Structure 1
Amino acid sequence: MEPIELPDLKLLQLFDLLYDVRSVTRVAEQLGQSQPTISIWLGRLRAHLQDPLFIRTPSGMAPTPQADALIGPCREILESLRRFAAWEIAFDPSTAKRRFRICMTDASHITLLPRMLAHVRAQAPGVRLDAARIDGNTERALESGEADLAIGHVPWLGGGIYQQQLYMQDWVCLTNRSHPRLRAKLSRKQYCAEGHVAIAAGTGAQLLEQALLREHIERDVVLELPGFLGLGSIIKTTDLIATLPRNIGETLARVNDVAVHPCPFPVDRFAVRQHWHARYHHEAGNRWLRSVVAQLFGNAS
């Protein structure tokens, strides 16, 4: 059995409109086409359906019995196409049962994840959140759907990835409030003279290293950590200095009651963004998750 060939969408729209207005001139105006173009389209439709469809009369273009029989199926097709174009699988957070995986740094586990979790538990009790690392597999995970979002400073993500800026990050230093040699303001001279904790991880760490080289500052690194876990306690119980992005720095300072100082030399700021793959740009659940992130963290200081 040979497949049925349907007329072009524009021909179906022409048929539907002409059946109502009974005037080629008015159809041309409403479709934004010239009258000769509409006449050509009508000729194609007549040839396709092997019927005149409309006969010119003193009162306008009168439909033939074949046109009367076809107008119903034509409008059903057009309505189905309209529904198809507007189709979106509904996502109701209050009833949804779904897992979302979000790639983020361990700093975001401390600064962003608690607020996200509280919001999701209140608005979407059936939704589960999984936190994953940002690494060399992040782009592939976003493309495959293994991960839904990546949040952070991830400038190496390639094509096919959408992004939305959430906030800008500058840099601060953390010290013990009772540091024996520091005044209220941390100076560059004091920074260079003291011992430091270095954080190997963090998507902005390279910016700090570039600034240290540019400013000809060589830190006396006493301790290097793979991440931010335990950093607050170390600063609180030693005379070491940690240099880190403001969001994680201020969070650790509040939790551990340590001092926050402006970084005494310039370090490039960087944008924290959420990233998602183009394949899931219109997917309703992904859109909801992105809206939650933008609502919670967009334009955060």
Structure 2
Amino acid sequence: MIGIRLINIRDIDLNLLVLFEAIYSAGNISRAAQVLDMNQPTVSNALTRLRTQLDDPLFVRDGKGVRPTERAEAIIAPIRRALQDIHSIGNREVAFDPDHSERTFRLHMIDVFEPVVMPMLAAHTAVNPSLSVKLLHPQTITSEDAVSDGAADLAIGLTPARSPQIDWEELCPLDVVVVARRDHPTLSGTISGPELMAHGHVSLDLDLPSTVPGARASSKKLVMKESTPFRQAIQVNRPSSIAAIVAKSDLIGLLPRFYVEALPDQGGLQILEPPRSLIDLSFFLIWHRRRVEDPGLVWLRNRIKSAMGRQPVR
């Protein structure tokens, strides 16, 4: 157990906390230096100062990178919250301009949203070199935890948040369709229940506790109401793998409609309308309540909703 140490807050340089968060996120001092636009010796010297002030090594060598100590793991969440609060104070009265504002957005979302959300954000980062976006891998932390501990500014999850400190709103229903290659020898336009059961599936493995909130339970709902289960031919862990394999085989798969329609040339796939709704779930936008008025996050939420067809572009 980590003992409580009294720290004179006047001795702590805020910039050192920014540096600490960058090293923790990057897992590598050189990459952190690039993110901070600093040279590596300067970052190393600053880390030495912080180690002295906190009386802990904070990071130890691990292969080609570094890993956090127990002390670093204990303080990363409050440091992230503090940095977010300071950022919010500085921006509360300042309008966010995507073409000129300096900002890095950290998003936690599964990759089905990438072909829809990322091109929209890329259009802004191409114009504004001071604007960047970082995606967090959803298998390492849940959506709600990512927002709660400050690892993510915004998340998209399959269940609404449970904590009273986390705000959320429904983004879109999970409209699942069946996909097959465009020149499939036996399928075209629609698919019957028996055909759905007879064809081999490329399925998504959602049986991971932290892929997205509710994923373990939700994966069991990705079946028709008939008692016969799908014939799982191949199981993968990325939706993009389903699209790639189905496009080059006679197997079929289940994917969100918006994902398939966003792929270039629809990924060489045809959408087969199922005989009935396959799933009754929705995706939710999730953010921390203390950042509800952050102009940048208000803009980001609106842009994502616009990309998903929720409202006109502002």
Unpaired segments ≥5 residues, structure 2 = 1-88
CA distance in structure 1 between the aligned counterparts of 2:124 and 2:274, rounded to whole angstroms: 33
* 3-state DSSP of counterpart to 1:229: helix
Counterpart for residue 42 of structure 2:
none
Counterpart for residue 194 of structure 1:
199
Counterpart for residue 166 of structure 1:
171
Residue pair 1:243, 1:263 contacting (<8 A) in 2 also:
no
CA distance in structure 2 between the aligned counterparts of 1:177 and 1:106, rounded to whole angstroms: 23
CA distance in structure 1 between the aligned counterparts of 2:116 and 2:293, rounded to whole angstroms: 28
Counterpart for residue 299 of structure 1:
310
Counterpart for residue 240 of structure 2:
229
Deviates more, 1:108-117 or 1:234-243: 108-117
How far did 1:188 drift?
1.0
Residue pair 1:235, 1:241 contacting (<8 A) in 2 also:
yes
Residues 1:127 and 2:131 are matched in the alignment: yes
Pick aligned residue for 1:112 from 106, 110, 117: 117
1:86-109 residue CA offsets vs partner (Å, 9 max, x unmatched): x62443333322211010101112
Counterpart for residue 185 of structure 1:
190
Residue pair 2:247, 2:268 contacting (<8 A) in 1 also:
yes
Residues 1:98 and 2:103 are matched in the alignment: yes
Task: Give the fraction of aligned pairs with identical amino acids, expressed as a percent.
Answer: 27
Residue pair 2:116, 2:307 contacting (<8 A) in 1 also:
no
Aligned pairs (5 A) from 1:1-301:
88-122=93-127, 124-134=128-138, 136-155=141-160, 157-201=162-206, 203=212, 206-207=217-218, 209-212=220-223, 214-252=225-263, 254-299=265-310
CA distance in structure 1 between the aligned counterparts of 2:148 and 2:276, rounded to whole angstroms: 39
How far did 1:146 drift?
2.5
Q: Name the amino acid aligned to 1:280.
A: R
* 3-state DSSP of counterpart to 2:310: coil
CA distance in structure 1 between the aligned counterparts of 2:147 and 2:188, rounded to whole angstroms: 47
CA distance in structure 2 between the aligned counterparts of 1:270 and 1:199, rounded to whole angstroms: 16
How far did 1:213 drift?
6.7
What is the alpha-carbon root mean square deviation over aligned residues?
2.8
1:236-280 residue CA offsets vs partner (Å, 9 max, x unmatched): 211101012211233348342211111234323332232110111
* 3-state DSSP of counterpart to 2:233: strand
CA distance in structure 2 between the aligned counterparts of 1:96 and 1:268, rounded to whole angstroms: 40
Residue pair 1:195, 1:240 contacting (<8 A) in 2 also:
yes
CA distance in structure 2 between the aligned counterparts of 1:261 and 1:277, rounded to whole angstroms: 38
Q: Name the amino acid aligned to 1:146.
A: A
CA distance in structure 1 between the aligned counterparts of 2:186 and 2:171, rounded to whole angstroms: 37
How far did 1:286 drift?
2.2
* 3-state DSSP of counterpart to 1:185: coil
Deviates more, 1:234-243 or 1:128-137: 128-137
How far did 1:296 drift?
3.0
Residue pair 1:191, 1:264 contacting (<8 A) in 2 also:
no
Using a 3 Å threshold, how does the CA distance of structure 1 residues 271 and 108 change in structure 2: closer, same or farther? same
* 3-state DSSP of counterpart to 2:187: coil
Structure number, greater radius of gyration: 1
Q: Name the amino acid aligned to 1:175.
A: A
CA distance in structure 2 between the aligned counterparts of 1:269 and 1:254, rounded to whole angstroms: 28
Q: Name the amino acid aligned to 2:114.
A: H
